[in-house]
Structure formats: structure tokens, C-alpha cells
Amino acid sequence: MLKVGLTGGIGSGKSVVAARLARLGAVVVDSDRIAREVVEPGTDGLREVVAAFGARVCAEDGTLDRAALGEIVFADPSARARLEAIIHPRVRRRSAELVHGAAPDAIVVNDVPLLVEVGLAPTYHLVLVVRAAEATRVRRLVRDRGMTVEQAAQRIRAQAGDERRAAAADVLLDNDGELTELHAALDVLWRDRLTPYEQNVRQRRPVRATEARLVEPDPGWSAQYRRLAARIRHAVAPAEVRVDHIGSTSVPGLAAKDVVDLQLGVTSLAEADALADRLAEAGFPRCPGQWWDNPRHPGDTSRWEKRLHGGADPGRPVNLHVREIGSPGWRFALLMRDHLRADAERRADYLAVKRRLAAAGPDLDAYAEAKEPWFDREHRYAEEWAAAVGWQPGPPEEES
């Protein structure tokens, strides 16, 4: 099944998005609703909350007095953490039960208010974030939930900021406009991305680029790499691997095909084969056939063998090159990236070659083959540069 994480700040309109996705056919697991269920009268959850915060958080009819509890926890981070330690494990268990009961071809949308705060983003195939201006959110909370302006602002600031949520988002949904606009955007998302993504994951079918079409540099490529890398590391844990951003999208200012290239470094290709199923389940199915890199050393007739996976998400094409750590192909991918970042002349030369070959026609295989002589020359230049500056592969960027 396709697992989608849905989040957004309080008052952003997340519930409206969840309702529309449910109408389109998604199985929605609402963490807010479950959080209320686990502290209903007679539950262990309610008894533990009362034991932690006192009888003042219990109404006369035996239900949880949410307003009284809110006054305590939203003014005291330690109290909020104590409440989360009671509620979150119960919500996670119940959510897992509901997900387990969904059909194999379901698109499961897990509506999680604190998805970013508790670090759940890498556990989903895709993360949707609903956002709205703070003024809009305050107005909604005052109108719909009876809060004062001060209470609304306090609740908003107790959560992750907009910038942090946006960094976790594969899809950002703006909800400051008309409801019809939001619904239209969700209908397109469902039809063009979520439905084919689910089919690709279930059928283990990678999305492959078919044309050599260059786009201008996208500052978002780096953030996309970080999200993809976190998802990959989560999928293969506890295996000790490293994930690097390579290829043209890893070189700032360089036009490229809009395909993010990543390199998964493993101890052996046998380990790569053992991890293939877990990568496929996480949305990175293996590409059929045998794959290798052409050797760059003069007189070397061997093949630099590797495994190749692609992304199943039609909205974010990915090439995942799986190579042995320390192998010639693994090393060259990192060396070429760092050399092009450091050498403006070589970077400009590569861009000119890419533009000329892309202009010659859209055939992707012909484009790739025609670049091989440039890569051979680049290998020599890069090795000379590495010797001059003492280059060695550094840690992955998110760990440096």
C-alpha cells in the first residue's frame, strides 16, 4: 500500500484535506481522533493522564477536560512532553492496527498533527503539508474553536514552525484561498501522483526518464535529496549504509535533467541484493537487467558492476545507484561531483556539452552514450585535482 503522511499547523485546514482525500478513496487514519479515543472514560490512557496531572483535568461527567489540560501543557513544555509520552505510544499502536487492516492496494493517509515534531516523515512514501498564513490560522481558531487570539497564537507557536514543516514536505498545499482551489489541487494530486504512485509501488515499477531534456538549476534539489536519503536509510535500517547526492543535481548552478541521482554505498553487492525488497517497499524498486559503469582507467576492460533502482513516485524521478563503498565507480561519482563544484571551468565545459547533446535530440540513451568521452577526460582532470588538493571522500552531506 502507499503510505502518505499528512500534517500541518493547527488551523491550517488539515482536516479539510483529509476529508477530500477520503472522498477520493483514501483510507484516512486520523491521529487526532485516535488521540481522543485513547483517553475516553474507562481507558488506561485517561487514568494515566489523571494520575499525571490531577483530577482537575477530569470533567464532572468523567470525560477529559481538554481545555483544562490544554492550559497546563501548552504553557509548560515539560508537561506537554509528559502528556505526549502517555498519548503517542497508544496512538501509534492503534494507527498501526488500522493501517494493517487496509487493503493491499490502498492509499493510506495518516493524518498526524505532530508528524514533523516526532520525526515520522521518513516512514512514509510521501509527506503532504498543509500551510496557511498565521493570521488566517488565528482567525480560524477564534471562529471555529472559540479560542482567544492569545490562546490561538500560543497553540501555533507550541508546534514546529512553517519552515521546518516545509523542509519535510514532498507536497506543499496552500490553504489561504478558496476551498474550490484546494479541492482542485487535491483532485489533480490524487489522479496524477498518488494513484500511479500506489500502482508503481505495488507492481515494483520504477519511473524512468525517457527524454534528455534539461531544466534550469532548482534550489529545491538539495532538500529533495535529504528527504529521499532519510527515507532510504529508514528503509534499510539497521544496515550500515551511506547515501550521497551525486550527479548534476548535486552541483549548484548546473542545469540537469530533473532526476535526482543518489548513491547508496553498501559493503558488497550481495548486501545490495539482500536490501532490494526493502527498498522496493519504500518506493525505490530495482530496475530490471544488469547495470554497470564504464571503467575510466586506460586499458581496463572490466565492468564496474552496480545495482540500479528507480523511484516509484511519478512526481519525483530518482536514480538510485547502489555501489560497493570504496569501489572505483563509487569513488568516481563522489570525486566528479566535488571536482565540478570546485572547478568553474570544468563545470562550464560540462554544461556546454550537456546543452549541445540535449539539443541534438531527445533520445536518452544516445545522450548518455555521447557523454562518455567527456567523462573519460573528466576522470583524468579530476584525479589530477584530487592529487593536488589531497581530496578524499568526505561524509555524506547531512552528516557533515
Cα–Cα distance, 230 to 120 (Å, whole number):
10
- Is the alpha carbon torsion for 98, 104, 108, 112 positive or negative? positive
- Take residue 83 and report the three cell numbers written for it: 502528556
Asked whether 197 and 191 are in contact (CB, 8 A), the reply is no
Residue type, 298: P
| Beta-carbon contacts of residue 326 (< 8 Å; ≥ 6 apart) | none
The SS3 call for residue 309 is: strand
The tens digit of pLDDT for each residue in 192-238 reads 999 999 999 999 999 998 899 999 999 999 999 999 999 999 999 99
CB burial string 195-230: b at 16+ within 10 A, e below: bbbbebbeebbbbeeeebebeeeeeebeebbbbbbb
- DSSP for residue 1: -
Residue in the structure block whose three cell numbers are 541534438: 360
Cα–Cα distance, 314 to 76 (Å, whole number):
43
Q: How many CA atoms lie within 13 A of 255 on its CB side?
A: 16
Q: Let me know if 322 is exposed, middle or buried by CB neighbors in 10 A (0-12, 13-18, 19+).
A: buried
Cα–Cα distance, 311 to 193 (Å, whole number):
13
- Take residue 194 and report the three cell numbers written for it: 498518488
Asked whether 310 and 210 are in contact (CB, 8 A), the reply is no
Asked whether 346 and 308 are in contact (CB, 8 A), the reply is no
Cα 389 versus chain centre, distance: 35
Complete DSSP assignment for 139-203: HHHHHHH---HHHHHHHHHTS--HHHHHHT-SEEEE-SS-HHHHHHHHHHHIIIIIHHHHHHHHH
Cα 323 versus chain centre, distance: 22
3-state SS string for 213-267: CEECCCCCHHHHHHHHHHHHHHHHCCCCCEEEEECHHHCCCCCEECCEEEEEEEC
Cα–Cα distance, 384 to 388 (Å, whole number):
6
Backbone dihedral angles phi then psi of residue 120, each to the nearest 5 degrees: -90, -10
pLDDT at res. 400:
40
Asked whether 130 and 12 are in contact (CB, 8 A), the reply is yes
| Beta-carbon contacts of residue 33 (< 8 Å; ≥ 6 apart) | none
Long-range contact set of residues 162-167: C-beta below 8 Å, sequence gap at least 24: 162/9, 162/131, 164/116, 165/7, 165/8, 165/9, 165/116, 165/129, 165/131, 166/129, 166/131, 167/223, 167/226
From the DSSP assignment, how many helices (H) and strands (E) are in the chain?
A: 16, 12
pTM above 0.85, yes or no: yes
In 12-121, beta strands by DSSP E: 27-30, 107-111
Q: Going residue by residue through the chain, which has 400 residues, state the pLDDT in tens, using 9 for 90 and above.
A: 999 999 998 888 899 999 999 999 999 998 888 989 999 999 999 999 999 999 888 888 889 998 889 888 888 889 989 998 999 899 889 888 888 889 999 999 999 888 888 899 999 999 999 998 888 888 889 998 888 898 888 888 878 788 888 999 999 999 988 899 999 999 999 999 999 999 999 999 999 988 999 999 999 999 999 999 999 999 999 998 999 999 999 999 999 999 999 999 999 999 999 999 999 999 999 999 999 999 987 777 788 999 999 999 999 999 999 999 999 999 999 999 999 999 999 999 999 999 999 999 889 999 999 999 999 999 999 999 999 999 999 998 865 4
The tens digit of pLDDT for each residue in 42-82 reads 999 999 999 999 988 888 888 999 888 988 888 888 998 99
- Is the alpha carbon torsion for 256, 230, 77, 51 positive or negative? positive
